[in-house]
Amino acid sequence: MRAGRLLKILMTLQSRELVTAPALADACGVSHRTIYRDIETLSELGIPVYADRGPEGGYRLLNGYRTRLNGLSSEEAEALFLAGLSGPATDLGLGPVMPMAELKLLAALPPDVRASAERIRATFLLDAPAWFTDSEQPPSLPTIAKAVWDQRPIRVHYTSWNGERERQLEPLGIVLKGGAWYIVGQVEGSIRTYRVSRIQELNVLDGRFERPEDFDLAKYWHDSLQRLESELYSHQARVRLTPRGMRLLEHLYPNSFRATTEIDPEPDTDGWHRATIPVGDPRHSSLELLRLGAEIEVLEPKELRDALRDTANAMLDLYRD
């Protein structure tokens, strides 16, 4: 315990020009007297710690006494700190080690690079969840993360849209998407994706598995998203949009949706613009297009137009006085 505290004090001194005893005590969660004894111990170990007396004083290391990460540029250090996302790290069970890891990195950086890295940490924040949604924090996530790292197979009992299932899989990676965690695993030779929050029971099995040498998590996820979008929006619809509807389309729908949308540049006599948009099955697409309200009119296909009309009539009956 004390060895870890001494290392933390040393890393703090290396990362800052001057540190007061109260600041060190707060950082280590000990009394001022304990810090005084620790400083004496560091001096006895040959660490050049000096005390500046007076109200503006504190402890400092002899100039030049620090370990440097040779060849690490300012941009590379900034990228490392941008990658140090405390929220996801905590969810994965790495929260306790993150502060010390950042402190070690700061202490090892040259002064000019250190200042740039500290500015990055102070001015950039990644908030993964979308607006008005909370990030999922499934209790099994740290266990799954460890199984991924240790290459241990797992057995899961989970709930899907069509019932409960049980699977044994080799976990290959974890992805955070829009505040939700997903596990990518190999099941009977095929790669599949499961939402972690839907796992009701988890058991880590004995033994280890070998990761496929050609498996690339980033590529698999990118290809999966493209495949899902093509399945969800496998058809097209012809619609009319008001000018406000065109603006809402820009703000309410993802880039992939807008990328395959074609809008006629010239308005009709009513000031509406005709457009071709990607759609899926009529029921799913009618619910999506209701977000635009009366700013859109579906011209074809007839099945989608009928689905919207039926839903609008049902809502009118519901809210009729």
* pLDDT digit string, tens, across residues 36-95: 988 888 887 778 888 888 777 889 888 766 655 555 555 655 555 555 555 666 666 666
Q: How far apart are CA 230 and CA 278, in angstroms?
A: 9
How far, in Å, CA of 75 to CA of 90, rounded?
Answer: 25
Q: What is the pLDDT of residue 152?
A: 95
Residue-wise pLDDT tens digits, 142-185: 899 899 989 999 999 999 877 888 999 999 999 888 778 899 99
DSSP 3-state assignment of 191? strand
The pLDDT of residue 10 is 81
Nearest to 315 by CA among 297, 298, 300, 293: 293
Which band of pLDDT confidence, cut at 50, 70 and 90, is reported for residue 137?
confident
Cα atoms found within 13 Å of the Cα of residue 53, Cβ hemisphere only: 0
CB atoms within 10 A of CB 173: 19
The confidence score (pLDDT) of residue 78 equals 57
Provide the pLDDT for residue 108: 67
- Name the CATH topology of 141-226: SH3 type barrels. (2.30.30)
Select from 3.30.160, 3.40.1800, 3.30.70, 2.60.120 the CATH code of 233-319.
3.30.70
Q: Tell me what percent of the residues of the chain surpass a pLDDT of 70.
A: 77
- pLDDT tens column, 212-238: 988 999 899 989 888 887 777 889 999
Say which residues have a Cβ less than 8 Å from residue 230's Cβ, sequence separation at least 6: none
pLDDT digits (tens, 9 = 90+) for 13-35: 887 888 999 999 998 889 988 99
Residue 154's Cα: distance from chain center in Å? Answer: 23
Contacts of 184 (CB under 8 A, 6+ apart): 171, 172, 173, 174, 175, 191, 192, 193, 217, 220, 221
**The overall pTM is greater than 0.75:** no
* CA quadruple 113, 119, 120, 121: dihedral sign: positive
**CA 158, CA 91: separation in Å to the nearest integer?**
20
Read off the pLDDT band of 101 (50, 70, 90): low
Q: Which helix (H) or strand (E) holds 156?
A: strand 154-160
Instruction: Please identify which residue in the block is written with the tokens 């402190």.
Output: 103
From the list 126, 17, 1, the residue with the least C-alpha distance to 65 is 17
Q: What is the CATH number of domain 2-61?
A: 1.10.10.10
Extents of the domains making up the chain = 2-61, 74-123, 141-226, 233-319
**In 3D, which of 136, 130, 127 has the Cα closest to residue 180?**
136
